[in-house]
Structure 1
Amino acid sequence: MKIALLSDIHANRQALDACLQHARAHGADQFALLGDLVGYGGDPVAVVEQAMALAQAGALCVLGNHDAIALAPPAQPRTRSELGAQWTHDHLGPEHRAFLQSRPLTARMGQSALLVHASVDAPEQWRYVEDSNAAERSMAAAQAIDPAIRYVFCGHVHAQALYFLTPTAKLMRFAPEPGVPVPVPPHRQWLGIAGSVGQPRDGDARAMYALFDEAARQLTFYRVPYDHLAAAAAIRAAGLPPFYADRLETGV
């Protein structure tokens, strides 16, 4: 089975559509959504409805921090993020909010993989896995849940990375090259960060996702071109902070 790992879609319908099409063309027969379906972007309803359809077909989907704040935005929003959460909350229908509300913080994918938006170490605190120390804490927390877990897949940091433990228990970080399969044998522990579908922040406007080939034990990271100008226009048309649209146009 090939499983497409999609995270941080952020209400970007154009990016999600492009990644789903790309993943299916590359053999994906299942999908896993790693949180932050909404936030920042101008199409939360379309994205959540797509997620609902994927979940109906068997996809796993975990909760992200932007999903959580959209469910209960501050009564008096002050920051751009809080204003966006209030706008998103108001535009989602009861069925969309119920779907987000029912998402777990973590989800087991088979016997050997665990899905989470941020870190397995206190997932409700939305800790960023930005370095080897944070990756090691997340992997250790997964092992504490079950030593059979060999793979942790997450998002949250809007960049792609792969961490693994060597036979001497030294943690290593690997910078994946788009489109190049990486062997991920289960005798090691792995933590893969899928990147952001809907809001890349590494200076490259292309969407990100990863494809896990469960049978071949390979993980391939991809960058996918999409109509980011249309996604930016949707943000401006919605009256959301233009900063979010500017980000899509530059990839930062």
Structure 2
Amino acid sequence: MKVGIISDVHANRVALDAVLDDMPAVDALLCAGDVVGYNPWPAECVDILRDRVSASVMGNHDRAVVSGTAFKFNSMASAGVEYARDELNDLQREWLSNRPTSTTACDGRVRIVHGHPDDPDHYTYPDEFSPELLGEEDVLVMGHTHVQHHEVYDEGIVMNPGSVGQPRDRDSRSAYAILDLEEMTVDERRVEYDIEAVQEAVREVGLPDKIGSRLADGR
């Protein structure tokens, strides 16, 4: 069974389209949260993933949009949250609000969280990966850091597919992964997309310029 794994789309429809066009045929598509936030296409990205994903969880930006709070977000993040609140219709908002903080897929073999199994807001960077993070699942999928990485242990796999819409590992290309549950392997993938088109759209809708400019640096 081959599974497409994505995370942290952050309303970047241009990057999401590039990833989905590049992705080979898979038996399921899973998302580790933060469909919205930052970029100009929250409604479109919710609609695409609502129709495509087999399982997904709520990220901190998703929660901020549906809960009416921006927590301790910086000005860029807060602007993206406010923009998404204005853009989403009731059906899109309902789908987002119904995302759990943790879920399983693929007959329980894969567990999906956003930040950490014990704390959805914790940034679990690669240096914290360990087999102790695994529970009964064979594969733990996390997002939140926007850093693509995976480790294979005797006990299973701990992985982060990286960010579709706002990579932060100094590689500007959009990130995703293909998980092979038969071979227990992860194929980390990167895809070029039209960053300039996103930057122009950011300016057109009045979001902070840095939301677009940082995309070119992968940070």
Q: TM-score, normalised by structure 1?
A: 0.80
2:45 is the alignment partner of 1:47: yes
> Distance between the aligned counterparts of 2:22 and 2:218, measured in 1?
20
Q: Give the unaligned 5+ runs of structure 1.
A: 166-186
2:169 is the alignment partner of 1:205: no
Higher Cα radius of gyration = 1
Q: Letter of the 1:111 partner, please give it.
A: G
> Distance between the aligned counterparts of 2:103 and 2:134, measured in 1?
11
Provide the residue aligned with 1:103 in structure 2.
Answer: 99
Provide the residue aligned with 1:65 in structure 2.
Answer: 60
Q: Letter of the 2:50 partner, please give it.
A: M
Query: Counterparts of 1:141-180 in structure 2 under 5 Å?
Result: 142-143=134-135, 147=136, 149-165=137-153
Q: Give the unaligned 5+ runs of structure 2.
A: none
> Distance between the aligned counterparts of 1:120 and 1:16, measured in 2?
26
Give the superposed CA RMSD.
2.0
Deviations 1:169-218, CA, capped at 9 Å, x for gaps: xxxxxxxxxxxxxxxxxx42321111000001222211000000122222
User: How many matched pairs?
Assistant: 217
Could you say what secondary structure the match of 2:150 adopts?
Answer: strand
Q: TM-score, normalised by structure 2?
A: 0.92
Aligned-residue identity in percent: 32
Query: Counterparts of 1:1-252 in structure 2 under 5 Å?
Result: 1-23=1-23, 26-55=24-53, 59-74=54-69, 79-109=75-105, 110-123=107-120, 126-132=121-127, 134-136=128-130, 140=132, 142-143=134-135, 147=136, 149-165=137-153, 187-252=154-219
Could you say what secondary structure the match of 1:52 adopts?
Answer: helix
Cα contact 2:2–2:178 (8 A) shared by 1: yes
> Distance between the aligned counterparts of 1:78 and 1:32, measured in 2?
28
Could you say what secondary structure the match of 2:176 adopts?
Answer: strand
**Post-superposition offset of 1:32:** 0.4
Deviations 1:97-144, CA, capped at 9 Å, x for gaps: 100000011111223220111100222xx1011143x334xx53542x
Cα contact 1:18–1:225 (8 A) shared by 2: yes
> Distance between the aligned counterparts of 2:62 and 2:144, measured in 1?
12
